[in-house]
Amino acid sequence: MRLASSETSTGEPGVAPRRDELLSAIDHLVSRAATHGQKFALLVLNLQEFREFNIHFGHQQGDFLLCEVVRCIQEVLRPDDRVFHIGGDEFAVLLSDLKAVQVVPLAMERILDAVESGKYLAEGIPAVSLRAGGAIFPDHAGSRDELLCAADNALYAARKSRRRYSIYDSSLHAQNQQRIQMRKDLAASLEKDRLLFHYQPQIDLRERRIKGCEALIRWPHETQGWINPEIFIAAAEESALIEDLTFWSLNVVLREWAQLAEDMPGNSIAINLSAALLNSREIVDMVERALNIWNLPPASLTLEVTESAMMSDPQAALDTLNALNELHINLSIDDFGTGYSSLAYMKHLPTQELKIDKSFVMNMMNNPKDQSIVQSVIDLAHNLNMRVVAEGIENQATLDLLVDMGCDTGQGYFISRPLPLEGAKAFLSAYPSGAMDKS
């Protein structure tokens, strides 16, 4: 790849954000629309995996890529249409004087095809991809700010659904308002300590003794009842609220684990780590502070990280995991088998544990392929000096087969469902003399 240039082929600065120019251009088109009744469209585009590109090729080449994307988009636009680099990995396009709104999706496809095909990019640049969202003035908005919000909502919808592009409709506005309200409600509940944790016991499968628990967050909403954790955690991850939620969670879990584990030294409590924080060193400080506050040894905490979370930015994830490993806490790969991590990447991970996704465990008594996958994962983990936890144990036969396979630890409804704090205390104090919870 040739060296990056600090300017585009037209001699204009290639990577300096031009958001102010975009805002001025939108204001001009809004004014023209009011005077002449002309429609126009705003497209916002996100360059996928740009951070990984920077890590692999360096920031100079990253700047060059931004220049090339701008130039490439301009190649397929009409003379009066404009493209802007508005910061980081984001771009905007203004399609002026629309004769028909049907032109907008066609223009978006033409832009995406041009960039992703590499036809107009400089030689040596690897394949790149974009996501795009579009909104039309005045159909979707009555002001500049409303238009920007509508286009951003459309881009969010495209990214969430993994579509190439999305065009704004009224349902997106309603969904956006719901997300905003959920974040407000979550922040209020967090401030008032209305969230709580349930604990699902994990046992040593051979010795049939308690090994620890997994902490699972719960939110009893005042008017909507129990909210699915996947929904409200995703809402928190869209803002800095995820940092407050994570630090609050670490403190609550470690405080309650100090009570639960009084008579079980050496056991650990597992908690899931948000993908949004895996690429930030902030989580390292959070963990260290929480352990110090509750005076617990690092080995009493296990952080679970999913494959997909690690692969969103592999190098940044590896750096964070290495920093967490220096604290001497336990690190676990969660939901193994459902993501896209490679063996080449796995061998560099400082993880001590691997959790087999419950979809394989629950089906393996009736599906020989799932059984083979489970056995292969156990063997792989042990060859990499990692412990293995099997999720989704729902009957005695599955538990016995996992023991025969050499699996180390298990959890599931056959052992115990997730329990509130007092229920977990009772279960842990009674086990193994008490019966397994099969209800």
Same domain, 328 and 390: yes
310-332 core/surface letters (b: 16 or more CB in 10 A; e: else): bbbbbebbbbbbebbbeeebbbb
- For residue range 26-77, list pLDDT tens digits in order: 999 999 998 888 999 999 999 987 877 776 777 788 888 888 899 999 999 9
- Write down which residue in 109, 141, 168 finishes a domain: 168
- Asked whether residue 11 is assigned to any structural domain, the reply reads no
Dump the DSSP string for 39-59.
EEEEEEEEETTHHHHHHHH-H
Same domain, 250 and 395: yes
- The 3-class SS string of 333-367 reads EEEECCCCCCHHHHCCCCCCEEEECHHHHHHCCCC
pLDDT score, position 281? 82
- Asked whether residue 275 is assigned to any structural domain, the reply reads yes
Confidence of residue 177 (pLDDT cuts 50, 70, 90): confident
- Asked whether residue 326 is assigned to any structural domain, the reply reads yes
Distance between CA 310 and CA 84 in Å, rounded? Answer: 31
- Asked whether residue 3 is assigned to any structural domain, the reply reads no
pLDDT reading at 24 higher than 80: yes
Half-sphere exposure of 276 (CA within 13 A, CB side): 14
Confidence of residue 4 (pLDDT cuts 50, 70, 90): very low
- For residue range 411-427, list pLDDT tens digits in order: 999 999 999 999 999 99
Distance between CA 190 and CA 248 in Å, rounded? Answer: 8
Helix (H, G, I), strand (E, B) or coil at 217: strand
**What residues make up the domain containing 355?**
180-430
Q: In Å, how far from its chain's centre is CA 431? A: 36
Q: How many domains does the chain have?
A: 2
Tokens read off for 153: 């909502």
pLDDT reading at 14 higher than 70: no
Predicted TM-score (pTM) of the model is: 0.72
What is the H or E stretch that residue 429 is in? helix 421-430
pLDDT score, position 407? 98
- Write down which residue in 140, 168, 196 finishes a domain: 168
Confidence of residue 171 (pLDDT cuts 50, 70, 90): confident
Tokens read off for 141: 């908005």
